[in-house]
Chain A
C-alpha cells in the first residue's frame, strides 16, 4: 500500500462519522408513495442507472396466513399465479416475458409473497396488465392444480435431499413451536394433497386484494406512472381482512439439541431467539452478529476457520421478521475434526461476547461492514424495489433509514444489555447437528469450476437460509 493510501485510510471516517448513509437516503428520497382509492399502496422509485424497470407486487399473505390443515397454500398459490388467469393461459406469462426480453419470478416467505418483473424501460407496462389480471382472479383449472401439486412435491423432495435445507427445516420447527415461523413454507406432502382449487381460490379471494398489497415501480420509469397504475388496478375491489396477530413464538426452554444422520459431512446450525425487525434491539443484535461472523477478522471466523482451523467456513445471520424471529450460526466441520470441539468453540465465542462486549474498534469495523454490505446489496434496481416494497408491506417506508441510522449511532457501551439478552444459548435456543451416516471417510473426488465471492473469503459450500431461518419458497 502506498503512503498516500495509508494516509487516506487513516483519515477515513470512523463509526460516529458514518452518518448519513447517503446511498440509502438517495434511494428513499427517490420514492414517491401514493394510495389508490381501493387501498393499493403504490411506490414509484426513480433510478436511472440502466434502462430497466422492475415492478414488485407484494401481498401481505404468506405461510403464516395458511389455514389449518392446508399448510403450503400461500406457496402453492404463488405457483398457480402463473397457471392461468382470465387473459393469460397456463405458461403464457413466461412466454410473454421471454418474448419481451424480461425476467420474472416470485417467492413466498412466512410474512409475505412477492412477484416481480423486470423489463426494458420501453415495455415495462406489460407487467401491470399481467399483475392486475391475476389479482382480479385465477382460473385454477383442476388439472392444472393437480399438475402443479406434483411439481411442488418434487420441490419438497429436492429440498429434503439438500443437506442444509433438511437441517434448517428441523431446527425451525424446534425453534418456533406453535408459531407459523416453525412451519415449512412448502407445507407437507399430506397438507398439499389436502389442498385443492377451492382452498386456493379462498386464499386468493381473501388476501389478494388491492388494500392488502404494495406495488413498487422502480427504475427508468418516465412519466405517467400513477395514471398507468390507476388504469390497470383502479377498477379492482380493495377490501381484505386485517391479519390476525399470531401468538408470540414460545422460545424453547433451555438449549434444545437435535441430530440427524445424513451424508458424510458434519454440519451444525444453531438458532437463537431474536427480536422483531422493528424492535430497538434489532440493530444492536445486527452489530453483535456482525462482530461474531462478518468478515475474515470476525470472532467466529478466526476461532473456527483461520486460526482454529476446525471448519471450512462459518456464517452468522439475523432474520428481519414481523414477529420475533431468530439469529443463526452455521458451519461445516473439517474432516477428522471432532464436531463437539467446533461446537464448544462456537458456544465459547458467543459466551465471550456476552461477557465482554466488543471494543470500540470492533464495533466500528462491524458498522463499516454492515454499511458496505448494505450498499453492495442494493445496487440493482430490483434490489431497491424489494427494499422499498418490503418496508411498505411489513413496516413503513422509513423503517430502513431508522434502522441503519440507529445501527450506525451505536457505541460499544450500548451493546452490553443486548448481548445479555440475545447471546445466551443456555436459556433458549436450538442446536441442530447433521452428522455423517458413516464415520468412514468418503473417497475424495473432483468438483465444479469457479469460486464464489464472500466476505469470509471462502464461501461455506451451501450456507443455510435463503432468507434466513424459516426460509422461503420460490417457484
Chain B
C-alpha cells in the first residue's frame, strides 16, 4: 500500500522565495459530476473553520503572497508562492485551507456562475474552442474529454455537501506536500510533520475511470468565433501515460517535429519556413499525460484556404518520420537540446516545487538531473525510431479544424 501522504523539502535558489505545493489525489478524473472537482478545489480558499474568504484574501495580500486553491484533472490542492521570510505562514495557510475548509454555500453559488463565465470566455477564443473539440474527439468518455468547468446543468447539480464529500475522499486517497526555496529544510520538515501528522498511514485505492474511446469521426470541423480568416488545425491521437518508459524517446521525437528552439523542427521548417502556410506551428508527443494517456498533438494556425495543405503536410511529415526514421545528426541534435534544456527547468524555487511534486505524484525520478541526463544519454537512434513506430500512427490521426462561421 502506498503512503497516504508524503513530504518533499528542498533548499534551492538565490531569490528570497518559498514555493509550497499541496496536492490531494482526486480531481476531475474522479468527480461524480462534471465541474465538481473544480468547485471543490476553488472552495478551499473561500472559507475555513477559522476565516472567511475576505480574511483569507486580505491576510495573504498583506504578505504579498500568491495563494491559490485549485483543481486539475488529477488533484485538488493549494499553491502558495511567498517571500522566504514567510515560509511558516505559507505552510500554515496551505494546511489550513486543505485540512479545514468550510465549503460555504453562498460562495459556491458565485463560483458556479464564475466558472460558467470563464467557460464562455474561453470558448470565445478561436484556438481554445477548436482545441476543446479536439480533446472531446480524442478522449470521450474519459474526463480529459470534457471541461474542468463542466456545464450549466452539471454545475447546478453540485452542492456544498458534494464538494465536502469529494474533499473527504481526496484526503483518503492521500497526497503530497512540497516546499522549495530559500528555507531551512529541517525547520520546514519539522513544521510539516506537525501540520500533516494526521494524514499518516496508507492511501485508499483510486477507483477506475472510463477508458478513452474518442468520437467516431476521424475528421471534425467546428465553427469558431473569429473575425479573421484563420483556421485552427489540430491533428493527433492518444499516446502514453506519464510513467511510461517511452516518454524519453517521445520527448526526442517532439523536438524533431517542432518542440525545440525557435522555429526549428520538421513541421515548422516545412509549414512555416518553407511553405509559409502558418505563423504558429507546434508539436507535442505526450502532452497532457498523467495517470492516463497523453496525446500526440500537432497544431497550425493557418488561413482557411490553406488548412488542407497544412493538414497534408502534417500527415506527410509524420509518415516520413515513421517510415524513414531520423538521420543521426538530427537525433543527436534533438537529444543534445533536451540535455542542454534541462537546467532551464530547474532555475527557480517554483520550478523546483513543480518538478518535485510531479515526480512524487507519478513516481518518477525526473527530480534528479543526473537521471534525466543518463536516460537521454543512453538513448540510441534505433530506440527513438522504434518508439516512433509504436506511438506515431498517421493512419489513426484524428483531426479537428476550427473555421470561422
Could you tell me which A residues sit within 8 Å of B by CB distance?
1-2, 4-5, 8-9, 12, 22-23, 26, 47-52, 82, 90-91, 93-95, 97-105, 118-120, 123, 147, 150-152, 154-155, 157-158, 160-163, 166, 262-265, 294-298, 305-306, 309, 311-312, 332-335, 364-365, 368-369, 371-373, 375-376, 378-381, 437, 441-442, 444-451, 453-455, 457-458, 460-462, 475
Residues of chain B with a CB closer than 8 A to A155's CB: 279
Chain A neighbourhood of B226, CB < 8 A: 161
The 0/1 profile, CB within 8 Å of A marked 1, for residues 310-326 of chain B is 00000000000000000
Q: Within 8 Å of chain A (Cβ to Cβ): is B141?
A: no
Is B301 engaged at the interface, CB distance under 8 Å to the other chain? yes
**Contacts A48-B14, A334-B113, A379-B347; A448 near B132 (Cβ below 8 A):** yes
Contact of A458 with B118 at beta-carbon distance under 8 Å, contacts A49-B14, A95-B264, A445-B123 already known: yes
Chain B residues within 8 Å of A118, by CB? 344
Please report the C-alpha to C-alpha distance between residue A1 and residue B65 in the assembled complex, in whole angstroms.
Answer: 15
Report which residue of A105, A161, A162, A296 has the largest number of chain B beta carbons within 10 angstroms of its beta carbon. Answer: A161
| Known A-B contacts A4-B88, A90-B273; A120 and B72 likewise in contact (beta carbons under 8 Å) | no
B264 and A152: CB pair below 8 A?
no
Mask of B64-92 contacts with A, CB within 8 angstroms, 1/0: 11111111110000010111011011001
**Given A12-B63, A445-B132: A154 and B15 within 8 A (CB)?**
no
Complex: A376 Cα to B15 Cα, angstroms: 8
With both chains docked as a complex, state the minimum distance between the C-beta of A152 and any C-beta of chain B, in angstroms.
Answer: 7
Q: Is the CB of B261 within 8 A of A97?
A: yes
Cβ of B200 within 8 Å of any chain A Cβ, yes or no, is no
Give complex CA distance A94, B333 in Å: 11
In angstroms, Cα B279 to Cα A381, docked, is: 28
B50 at the interface (CB under 8 A from A): yes
Minimum C-beta distance from B308 to chain A (A):
16
In the complex, what's the smallest C-beta–C-beta distance from A85 to chain B, in angstroms?
Answer: 15
Interface size class of B (residues with CB under 8 A): 35 or more
- Do A5 and B88 touch (CB < 8 A)? yes
Are B279 and A151 closer than 8 Å at their CB atoms? yes
Report Cα–Cα, A298/B81, bound state, in Å. 18
CB-contact partner of B255 in A22, A98, A151, A162, under 8 A: A98
Query: CB-CB < 8 A to B121: which residues of A?
Result: 265, 312, 332, 460-462
B346 within 8 A of A: yes
Which of B15, B62, B68, B135 is close to A375, meaning CB atoms less than 8 Å apart? B15
Known: A264-B225, A447-B148. A94 touches B263 (CB 8 A): yes
Interface centre among A160, A162, A373, A446 (most CB of B within 10 A): A446
Question: Which residue of the partner chain A has the closest CB to B123?
Answer: A445
> Contacts A97-B262, A380-B347 given; 8 further ones with Cβ under 8 A?
A8-B88, A12-B85, A23-B16, A101-B339, A102-B341, A297-B58, A445-B151, A453-B66
